[in-house]
Structures are given as structure tokens and as C-alpha cells.
């Protein structure tokens, strides 16, 4: 087994317990119990398990119901909406004709997300939003319709809105303004610049930073973190993706939160314990648990 396939070592435990505000346990190796025990050993005692499609959202809800310190969010990922509309696993990257019934299929899927969002253990609606990285015009239309529906669902159920924003900053902000953002809105894996961080701050939106804030080429993210109010900052893994330096490219998991949190504390100019206490409180407020 090459080093890139091996799990990084456990970091030094945090003295103040924190939450991983965004993870995908269903995409990681090992069992849920193993992941939670490993995370708790380093002070990561709570995780938010995020759904990206109907099956994953159901799994998130079921897992949160079974584990006291797991909270769920449910949604159709931005790239999932065009797949449903086009009836094509690659539909979001093509401009082919929409299949008959595609809109109805999306409505049916959204209705199921709406049902799941009403469950007590489901603390948020997401990850939803816009992702223009590989999306053609047809995909953009489906994504925006899905995003608007998720905003409405989150507001009606009083749940947090968890936003996935890739190469779509201005359009995400536009839709939030047009629809009216929920009371608690989280920009997952924050990817904007310092100017956008000011916009988020003015609106009271949470910004969740992932392992990529530690990457050498991520100075714009660190600049954004530097101006983000401490009371609006969260930390996440987005595991198994975005493993923090120096382990970039190796499998990520909730137990690596301390690596990212310590880097964030350095950027913010606060000590580790103060950073941990702030993000712990912020995550509990964001997801109302």
C-alpha cells in the first residue's frame, strides 16, 4: 500500500472538544463506530453527516437517529439535480435535450428531501447550492431550481441551509438575496475571497473552513478567514476529501480536524483553545443542537 492510501497519524488531541461541521462518513473506509471513536480520541466529539442524494440523505438521517453525537443534513447536491432532470449520470456536463418527465422526477426527489428535513435528527438542508465547475446551460437551470427549492424547505422547517458554492459566488449570493436566506445559513468549504467574507459577515452567515485552508496556494482563503468574525467561523473536514497539509492527497476523516483548527487559529491570531471553544459554540448555534 502506498503512502497516499494510508491514513495519516492521529494528531495531538484538542483540549477543548469541537465538532466536524461537514463530513461524509458513508464515503470513508471503516465503520461509523470506528470513525467516531477515533475522532473522539482527539477531541472531535460531534459530527454533521451530510447527504448529497436521496440514498445518502436517508443514510444520514438513519445514522443520526442511531448515534447521539451525529447530526444529519439532507439534500440533492447541485450536480445531482441535472442528473435527475436529464436522466443521465453525466447530464450536468452536457447540453442534450431534457428527457420527458425530468422536471417531475426532480420534484419527486425534492418532495422526499422535504419529508426527511422534517425529522428531528436532521439539523440542516444541504449540501445544496450551485456548482458551475463542469455545468452547461441546461445544468445551470436545473441547479438553480433545485437550490431555490432547498432554500424554501430549510426556511419552512426552520433548519440550517448548507451551501455548496463552486465557481458560482455571484449567482449564489443573487439567489440568496432573491429568495431570502434562512435564519441560519452555512457556506460549507468556504471558497470565496475576503470581500465575499465581508458580505457573509454582514448577513450573519456562517463560513466553514476545510483542510484546503492549509494548502500553500490558498492565501485567498486565509485572507478571508482573517476577516471573518470569529463568531461566524466553523471547521470541517469534508472527508474523505480535502485532507489538510501535510497529509494532502491521503484519506481524510473527522479525527484530522485538529490539524485544520490549529492552522485556523494561527491565521486568526488566537490560541488553540479559544479557537476550539468558538467553533464548538458556533456549530451548535448553526445547527441548533
Unique residue bearing C-alpha cell 460549507: 188
**Structural domains in the chain (count):** 1
Q: What is the pLDDT of residues 170-195, one digit of tens each?
A: 999 999 999 999 999 999 999 999 99
pLDDT in the model for residue 138? 76
- Residue 12, in any domain of the structure: no
Q: Map residue 200 onto helix, strand or coil.
A: helix
DSSP 75: -
- Residue 4, in any domain of the structure: no
Pinpoint the alpha helices (H) of 119-193: 137-157, 169-179
Q: What does pTM read for this prediction?
A: 0.94
- Residue 99, in any domain of the structure: yes
- Residue 1, in any domain of the structure: no
- Residue 274, in any domain of the structure: no
pLDDT in the model for residue 86? 82
- Residue 255, in any domain of the structure: yes
Q: How far apart are CA 252 and CA 244, in angstroms?
A: 8
The domain of 225 spans: 17-263+281-287
Q: Map residue 68 onto helix, strand or coil.
A: coil
CATH number at residue 22: 3.20.20.140
CB of 99 closer than 8 Å to CB of 135: no
- Residue 62, in any domain of the structure: yes
Q: CA nearest 159: which of 201, 119, 189, 218? A: 119
Ranges under pLDDT 70 in the chain: 1-3, 88-101
pLDDT in the model for residue 2? 60
Amino acid at each position: 500500500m502506498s503512502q497516499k492510501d494510508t491514513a495519516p497519524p492521529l494528531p495531538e488531541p484538542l483540549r477543548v472538544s469541537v465538532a466536524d461541521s461537514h463530513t461524509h462518513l458513508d464515503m470513508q473506509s471503516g465503520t461509523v463506530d470506528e470513525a467516531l471513536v477515533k475522532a473522539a480520541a482527539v477531541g472531535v466529539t460531534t459530527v454533521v453527516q451530510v447527504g448529497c442524494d436521496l440514498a445518502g440523505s436517508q443514510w444520514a438521517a438513519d445514522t443520526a437517529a442511531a448515534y447521539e453525537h451525529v447530526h444529519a443534513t439532507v439534500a440533492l447536491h447541485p450536480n445531482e439535480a441535472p442528473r435527475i432532470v436529464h436522466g443521465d449520470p453525466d447530464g450536468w456536463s452536457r447540453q442534450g435535450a431534457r428527457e420527458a418527465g425530468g422536471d417531475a422526477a426532480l420534484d419527486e426527489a425534492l418532495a422526499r428531501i422535504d419529508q426527511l428535513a422534517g425529522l428531528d435528527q436532521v439539523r440542516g438542508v444541504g449540501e445544496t447550492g450551485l456548482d458551475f465547475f463542469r455545468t452547461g446551460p441546461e445544468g445551470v437551470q436545473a441547479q438553480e431550481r433545485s437550490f431555490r427549492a432547498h432554500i424554501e424547505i430549510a426556511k419552512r422547517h426552520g433548519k440550517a441551509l448548507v451551501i455548496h458554492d463552486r465557481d458560482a459566488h455571484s449567482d449564489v449570493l443573487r439567489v440568496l438575496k432573491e429568495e431570502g436566506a434562512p435564519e441560519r445559513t452555512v457556506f460549507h468549504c468556504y471558497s470565496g475571497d475576503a470581500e465575499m467574507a465581508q458580505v457573509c459577515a454582514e448577513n450573519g452567515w456562517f463560513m466553514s473552513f476545510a483542510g484546503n485552508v492549509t494548502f500553500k496556494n490558498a492565501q485567498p482563503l486565509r485572507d478571508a478567514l482573517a476577516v471573518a468574525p470569529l463568531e461566524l467561523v466553523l471547521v470541517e473536514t469534508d472527508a474523505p476529501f480535502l485532507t489538510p497539509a501535510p497529509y494532502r492527497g491521503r484519506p481524510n476523516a473527522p479525527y484530522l480536524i485538529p490539524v485544520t483548527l490549529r492552522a485556523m487559529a494561527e491565521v486568526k491570531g488566537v490560541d488553540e483553545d479559544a479557537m476550539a471553544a468558538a467553533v464548538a459554540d458556533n456549530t451548535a448555534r448553526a445547527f441548533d443542537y
